[in-house]
Structure 1
Amino acid sequence: MDTSFVVFKKGKYTNFGLNEKELVQMKTCRRKWLARWLAACIAVVLGMGMCAGLPVSAAYENTYTNTGNQRADIVAVAKTQIGYHEGSLEGTTNSSNNYTKYNVWNGKIEGGYRYAWCHAFVSWCANQAGIGTDIVPKTAGTSTGRSFFVNQGTYRQSAANGGSYVPQAGDIIYYGSGSSPSHVGIVSDCDGSTVYTIEGNYSNKVGTRAINLSNSYIIGYGVPNYKGVVPPKPAPTLTVSTGNSSIETTFSWNTVEGATEYDVKIWKGTVWEGDAYLVEWGASNPYSVVLPEGTYQAYVDARFGSDMQMSNIVEFTVKAGCKLNVEVGNSSAETKFTWNDVNNATGYDVKIWKGKAWEGDPYLVEWGASNPYSVILPEGTYQAYVDTRFGSDMQMSNIVEFTVKAGCKLNVEVGNTSAETKFTWNDVNNATGYDVKIWKGKVWEGDPYLVEWGASNPYSVVLPEGTYQAYVDTRFGSDMQMSNVVEFTIKAGCKLNVEVGNTSTETKFTWNDVNNATGYDVKIWKGKVWEGDPYLVEWGASNPYSVVLPEGTYQAYVDTRFGSDMQMSNIVTFNVTKAKIQIGDLNSDNTLTTADAVLLQRYLLQERTLTQSQWQTADLNADGTVNGFDLALLRQKLVG
């Protein structure tokens, strides 16, 4: 109600800004006023003798003795008036004319006492409790009363208007819409969810009400600066950022002056129904925790020593979902997205924005992504999340922000304890250098095993047995960008060396012996290893192993066997060229000597055999037969 009223004046009602409800009340009075005025006059005349000496409103006297605790006293005074009905000073007449002792005490408005009296009742109770008008104003207007507390800075918004204040006994409760009050009462109690009140002009009498704190009819509370009581402690406002069944739900609140600690209290369901699901005593702000699926209510208690003040209650629902992790690569190495699997999920969609999520179209969406999902992204800052699908429904994961920088991708060609391990990478524009960093075990656990500052590409080194992790830092002046991390294992093994022959002479394969080896297998491909079947495999080869190979390009390695296990050597690439044949040079020493004649003679005497290439060399007269004529020609060459 406003500060002006509807009054009967010169046979008319004058509207000074009252609301419709109050106008209806006054119009009702108009029809009854003349008849009741006459009856009241007769009653006064007849009853003056009988009523002589009776106090006014004897039926609803304030019998309470004030204690000095003004917050308690105003409630106690109000309780003595419960049941008082408008219509007479005594409050025992069942009427609806707005005539009450509270209005008579408050004073005439535009020459009369018949006006809406809810705030006059509040002011009367305050006066009876010894509370000055500097604490609770003397007024019949609800707008005036509310404005008094607003101007003092002691007005608190209701939950429906976005507030978090939990009222206490003695507070003044305002009802209405938005910031426009139409009714008022005195708070007698509050249990955190329901507020209990005593109100004048409640169905034409002093009555009580129980109403939920979140009811939109409540617009706010005047919190008087009572004397004789400790003022109420300020309450924090709780905000909840809901996660899912895999990522944290975060609880945050404003810092309250004087608070010594905060306790987060969470119920699965409704607060105070059964035990709390979780209480975090002395919680840090913000406080985060992963909660299982379900609907929750939570609040924060601000502690002031042994006292405490409760925040607003927040209800939220946690759904099933996953947590996204991003292992950032660079402009050459893949960025990897991983997440935990969720029961009953029908699929996962990875959604990546360059910049902020939902600003413009996504940079990339991988529908039905496999876990993990990897992709090379260009330089830039990104945000990404995973939608977990449950049929037509979906649940979003956490959002991860990450930055992809220019860099290289490391590749490792693993050797063994005898053969070099080779590190190669792609060159990056504007790079000023590359540093190869190798750990035995996990990167960054202890000191690196080896760092090659300013490494050449490729970089090769023989490493002892063990498991390693390595990466390359690409340097851009004083800045640097790390490559992907590669894990590899070095095992005991040999290093293969190849002494290349030609189509007439043997190619020799040699290697170092390895402790505990049970055998060696030489494997030779014509072309690339593992492309098709090998050209030749010598199982259990002796060291050295020699063989004449036809013209061509080959790759070969040696497998060192350790029982049923084996370890591959380095791969050697080599070319076998066609031999230049010198007629008569049977021992292939590129010189004709008597040794060649002896070999041919022994062949003719059937004391030895010739290889195919030796036989071709021995056929000096090229008649397709090796015989005494060829030996004669050879001797002739030796003499001449």
Structure 2
Amino acid sequence: MRKNGTLYTIEGNVSNQVMRCERQLDSVQIIGYGCPLYADLENQIVPELPVMTVTPGMTNLATSISWTASAHAQKYLLVIWDADGNEVVREETTGVRFQKLLPDGDYTAQLTAENSGTTVTTEKQAFTVTENHNPLPFSAVVNAGTDEEPSTVSWTESVGALSYRVCFVNADTGQTAETLETDNTVRTCEKQLEPGNYTVQVTACSGSYETASPVLSFTVKYRRPVTAPVLEVNGGTYNTSTTITWDDGERAVGYRIRIIREEFCYEFSHLVCPPVGVDSSLNLVYQNDITIVEEDMGMQHSWSGVLTEGFYWVYVTVYNAAGDTAEAYHSLNVRVPLEGDLDDDGKLTQQDAVLLEQYLLGDLAFSRYGMTLRADMDGDGRVNGFDLALLRQKIV
């Protein structure tokens, strides 16, 4: 017994006697209290009152009832009555959630938490289940595909749907590309589409009742590599045009042209891309590749322009809408009109020898790249005294 801050006990083992003892409630000798649940004694441990939440459903969507876990509760009893007071649900459970599909109408729910005969009961909650004929909302996703792989649409189940309708629309033209029908057991469909921009929407159908998914946008791209075009090159001279033409590249949406000239370079430091690991002090002749032309040609199939004398490589790159590319290349040699004709008068004269001598003495610089090729009479890639001797011999 407890009274005025004092605990009174009758103990049967105090100095081998049964005695009445007194202790203060804050005594360190008291470590807790307990009472056996005797058959003829009411349980004093009352469960905590749970908080019940009712989420009303529809005729095609289950009503959901949940509640907070009750301290000391061993089990729960959920009861639901209809508007006439008829008991439609009596569910004993140890869980904290219940779902059931109910007909449309008004209902009342009540929850009881129990612990060995001791119970606590919530207030009754009224709710209403409404009728709904439309299939329930659902989600859909699309895998865009390519010109080689079909576009694939998949979706989750729409409760109440008897069939599904899938509609593809060309977003660029607004025209329907394809409409497909499936039964309610199918959750995916595929369609091979031409490259372009599209939208797709899935509609769940139940007779005249329909529920549509959000509209999904996607783009079908080219994935097959383009084919390289066939080049045709008509080389000109230093004062006549060189013409380069090519045929259609399959699935092409544009072309790029690049023309590279191979030159000989005597100065290591003048190289565009100096070779790695080469001693720059060696007296060598290096090949220098210089880009002369680099143009985006759009959908044009030809290029024309004047190139100086020399050896060239022509590269034409074709690309499709997806960025795939293919490249064709061709060599080109722009001819020297007349070796040694440095004054460009169409014949070899003493004036050509004078110009070459002035160049070798450093008194004259050649005005264009092709003059070096004309002066290289022996074709060894160098312009020196041997070339001057050969030029004078040809003049004579």
Q: Which has the higher strand share?
A: 2
Say whether the fold is shared (TM-score over 0.5). Answer: no
TM-score (norm 2): 0.30
Query: Which structure exhibits the higher relative contact order, with contacts defined as CA atoms closer than 8 Å and separated by 6 or more residues?
Result: 2
